[in-house]
Each structure stands twice: as C-alpha cells, then as structure tokens.
Amino acid sequence: MISANQRRDIILARVNKSGYMQVNELAALLDVTTATIRADLSIMERDGLLRRVHGSAMSKNNLAVERSTSDKSLIMSDQKRRIATLAVQHIKEDEVLFIAAGSTVAAFCEQLPADKHLTIFTPSIQIAAMLSPNPNYTVHLLGGVVHHQSQSVRGEYSSEVLDTLRGVTLVFGADGIGKDGYVMCSTVEEALFTKKVIRCANRLILLSDSSKLGRCGAGCICSLDNVDLFVSDTGLSKPDRKILSAFKAELLLA
C-alpha cells in the first residue's frame, strides 16, 4: 500500500495533467474511499497545490485548457443547470438568439421554454440538433469547418452570415473571467469569432459558473462592462461578488 504522501503526489500529477479530476475518479484510480480523497484534497488545497471545486479538484494553473463540451459538462453540472434555469427566464417571445457553443450554454438550451417562438443562430451542431425538432424554433446552423473539441462550425461561411446579421441576443459562456473583468476563452480563434458576433448583437448574456472566476485564457472576448446580464452561481464569495459589482453587467446568482 502506498503512503499518503505518495497518493497525493499521484493526485497532483493527474490533476495537473488533465486540468481537473473528479473525486470518484481519483478514488477509483487509487482504490481508496471518496472520504480519503476529500481529506487529501483539503490538505492539498490548504498547501496551495490545487483548487477544490464541488466534487472535483482543479489545477492551480489558472490558464484555461481547451476541452470537449462533453468533458466540460461533467464539471459543476448542478450549478450549470441552476444557471440555465435562471437565464431562460430572461428570454422574450419572438427573440432572435445567437447561441454559442459550450456546456453551460447547452444546459441553457435544454431549459428553453418549448412554447416560445424563437429564431436561433448557432455554430454548434449539438445545439442545432437539440433545438431543431421544436416547430416553434427556427434554427439556423452556420456553415464552415467543424471544430473537433467544441463540435462547432467556424470559417468563411460563418463570417458571411455574421456580415448580414444584426440585433441579436448573444448567449455565450467563458473558460475564464479575470478579476479585472475580462471574459476569456481557451483559444484566440474562438475569441475572434465571438468578437464578430458581439458586433451583431444588441444584448449580451454571459453564463458562467463560479469556478471560472480568476482563471485566464489565451483569447480575450470582451469586458464585463460590455455584458448586459451575467448569470453565475452562489459559489461566488462575497469579496468576488463585490469585485464583480463594479462592472456594468447585471449579476444574477442561481
């Protein structure tokens, strides 16, 4: 049997490699109870080696790592559902939405009221497939090259649509939100694409769970001063809420 220190070395190596690990995954990997893993994570967080986030451990490396939407959906899933439930209450009848790719945004789409008449533009194959069966929704899937991780479409065909689109409500997520108020994603390519959408939008709704605060990414999308509505969860600390209140975005906590 390995020692506690050896076990924590393995935990740290796995968390740093993948960016995050769930408690039950670590317990299965090391053949110990989840209570043992939680105790290890508490010690490791106290020692500044990693971050604990609701049933998972996250790397102290604050640079957001690009992951598939399916992988991201496993992180903070309860919080994402609560965020989605609150956010859909702010969608109006006959609204024109541009819905970006992402796990929190996908949760939002699952909660959209089926009886509302909506026009929806999206680069996400997953979201288009989810929403298109509803006869009250008119769904436009952008054309272009399929991006493997996000299963979203980008390229010249998408840009042509954005050149003619105006007055939409953009619903999007983030891989990181700096305490300076900048909203970030893991790739420059995604940031550039989202910036183009912002130029078409008259309302911005940001959906992001509390684990994203303080993380950074390679691509900067916009400032919270550009966002109209920021929906997060009650995991935000009081000091963090005070920091966010300084920006123009209306903050709602689910």
Is 29 within the bounds of a domain? yes
Identify the pLDDT of residue 106: 95
Neighbours of 26 (CB within 10 A): 23
* Residue 207 shares a structural domain with residue 108: yes
Report whether 220 contacts 199 (CB < 8 A).
no
Per the DSSP assignment, residues forming a β-bridge with 153 are 146
* Residue 73 shares a structural domain with residue 55: no
- CATH code of 219's domain: 3.40.50.1360
Could you give the angle at the alpha carbon of 69 between the alpha carbons of 170 and 184, nearest 5°?
50
Report whether 183 contacts 148 (CB < 8 A).
no
Q: Which two tokens stand for residue 206?
A: 């940001």
* Residue 218 shares a structural domain with residue 240: yes
Q: Which two tokens stand for residue 118?
A: 């909506």
Dihedral, 120, 124, 130, 136 alpha carbons, nearest 10:
10
Neighbours of 207 (CB within 10 A): 25
* Residue 126 shares a structural domain with residue 240: yes
Report whether 48 contacts 8 (CB < 8 A).
no
* Residue 37 shares a structural domain with residue 83: no
84 is in which domain, residue-wise?
A: 69-253
* Residue 54 shares a structural domain with residue 76: no
Q: pLDDT of 78-95, one tens digit each?
A: 999 999 999 999 999 999
Distance CA 145, CA 156 (A): 9
Q: Which residue has the tokens 């957001």?
A: 64
Is 36 within the bounds of a domain? yes
Identify the pLDDT of residue 41: 93
Question: Which of 223, 150, 231, 156 is closest to 183 using CA atoms?
Answer: 223
Is 30 within the bounds of a domain? yes
For 77, the enclosing helix (H) or strand (E) is helix 77-87
Is 64 within the bounds of a domain? no
Question: Which of 184, 181, 182 is closest to 243 using CA atoms?
Answer: 181
* Residue 50 shares a structural domain with residue 82: no
* Residue 100 shares a structural domain with residue 119: yes
Residues of the chain with pLDDT under 50: none
> How many folded domains does the chain comprise?
2
Q: Which two tokens stand for residue 96?
A: 């024109």
Strand order in the sheet with 182-185: 176-177, 182-185, 219-223
Identify the pLDDT of residue 218: 76
Is 14 within the bounds of a domain? yes
Q: Where are the alpha helices (DSSP H) in 168-216?
A: 188-200
* Residue 76 shares a structural domain with residue 189: yes
How do beta strands 56-59 and 20-22 pair?
A: antiparallel
Identify the pLDDT of residue 71: 58
* Residue 90 shares a structural domain with residue 137: yes
Identify the pLDDT of residue 19: 67
* Residue 84 shares a structural domain with residue 122: yes
- CATH code of 35's domain: 1.10.10.10
Question: Which of 178, 191, 155, 151 is closest to 71 using CA atoms?
Answer: 151
Q: Which of 38, 59, 80 finishes a domain?
A: 59
3-class secondary structure, 204: strand
